Amino acid sequence: MSVHVIYYKDGAKMMRPITSRAEYMALRDSEQNRRADKRHLVQMNYSCLPAENGALKGSTLESNSVGMDIDLNSEDWAVEKEKRTVRDQIVAKREDLGLLMLEESFSKGYHIVFRRRPDLSQVDNLRWASSLLGVEFDKGAKDVTRVFFTPADKLVYLDDEIFENTAAERGNTRGARVNAPDGCGNTAQGCVNTDGVNTSAAGLVLDPAGEVKSNTTEGSIKRAQRILTLKVLTGAKRPLTPLVLTRVNRVLTSATRTLII
């Protein structure tokens, strides 16, 4: 699995790994990203690890995840209905697919990230997922270096396993999973509520009464959310230190998967 944010150095696209839910959500939900047009949205890559010089261009090292772009071809009046149908199909088959992330794209469509099947090529992984879900993938977005423009407030599903940033190994058992980090189980733990509302600070799910759906104590979660709100979302001059970010992430990763319908 992997998720890298793209940045520019001397005009070249470079890759930096994202290793926590807190960091990922802060990038997605930043004020700058909320105001940006498509060309200036945060860019993410989910299918490869950086080339030797840290660049995106030239990378051939596949990660254990695959990013896929799903475009919908309906007329404008039918798009919302088709989007709901496609989203329901993806969520219903998330276990078979090995779903790691689902978001709406900036235009009409979806981005998904799923566990790589190591016995298949990049293109064959896309074809396999396309067949499983009954949707077409974007044929112009089949390379491992494909980047995804990431809008705020469009996240539907997130599994923390995506932050492991591991390379694919040919010859692994078909559909094999690596162990999740300490505190992150391989099964859904709380944090799933089809009537939920996303909290931008932590990516947790709240039930209609506003209660946090998590196995973590309410006080710990509120403290973590308060730290993120003050230090990240309000653009405070003093950024989160690595120690504080680690502590916040430990609190938030008690709910390793988020489903927001």
CA–CA separation, 157 vs 208, rounded Å? 18
Q: Are residues 202 and 142 in the same domain?
A: no
Q: Over 70: is that where the pLDDT of 17 sits?
A: yes
- Beta carbons of 63 and 166 less than 8 angstroms apart: yes
Question: Are residues 159 and 245 both part of a single domain?
Answer: no
pLDDT score for 61: 93
Question: Do 112 and 200 reside in the same domain of the chain?
Answer: no
Q: Are residues 80 and 131 in the same domain?
A: yes
Together in a domain, 18 and 55: yes
Domain end among 163, 178, 193: 178
Of 60-64, 91-95, 153-157, 223-227, least confident by mean pLDDT is: 223-227
Count how many domains the chain has.
2
Strand-pair partners of 63: 167
Overall pTM > 0.95: no
Least-confidence region, from 25-29, 108-112, 115-119, 211-215: 211-215
pLDDT of res. 245: 56
Spatial distance between the Cα atoms of 90 and 197, rounded to a whole number of angstroms: 19
Q: Compute φ and ψ for 250, nearest 5 degrees.
A: -65, -35
The answer to whether residues 198 and 73 belong to one domain is no
Closest CA to 129 of 106, 158, 101: 101
Final residue belonging to a domain, choices 161, 178, 195: 178
Do 98 and 196 lie in a common domain? no
Find where tokens 């990431």 sit: 150
238 and 145 within one domain: no
| Whether 86 and 22 share a structural domain | yes
pLDDT at 207: 33
Share of the chain above pLDDT 90, in %: 48
170 and 203 share one domain: no
- pLDDT tens digits, one per residue of 223-261: 554 545 444 444 444 445 555 555 555 544 444 555 654
Say whether both 135 and 27 belong to one domain: yes
Name the 3-class secondary structure at 78: helix
Whether the pLDDT of residue 42 is over 90: the answer is: yes
pLDDT digits (tens, 9 = 90+) for 102-112: 999 987 789 99
Question: Do 131 and 147 fall into the same domain?
Answer: yes
Contacts of 183 (CB under 8 A, 6+ apart): 250, 253, 254
Identify the band that residue 168 occupies on the pLDDT scale cut at 50, 70 and 90. Answer: confident
What would the pLDDT profile of 118-135 be if each residue is shown by its tens digit?
Answer: 999 999 999 999 999 999
Q: Which residues span the domain enclosing 258?
A: 183-261
What is the structure's pLDDT at 240?
Answer: 52
pLDDT(182) > 60: no
Under the banding of pLDDT at 50, 70 and 90, the label for residue 76 is low
Domain boundary among 128, 143, 178: 178
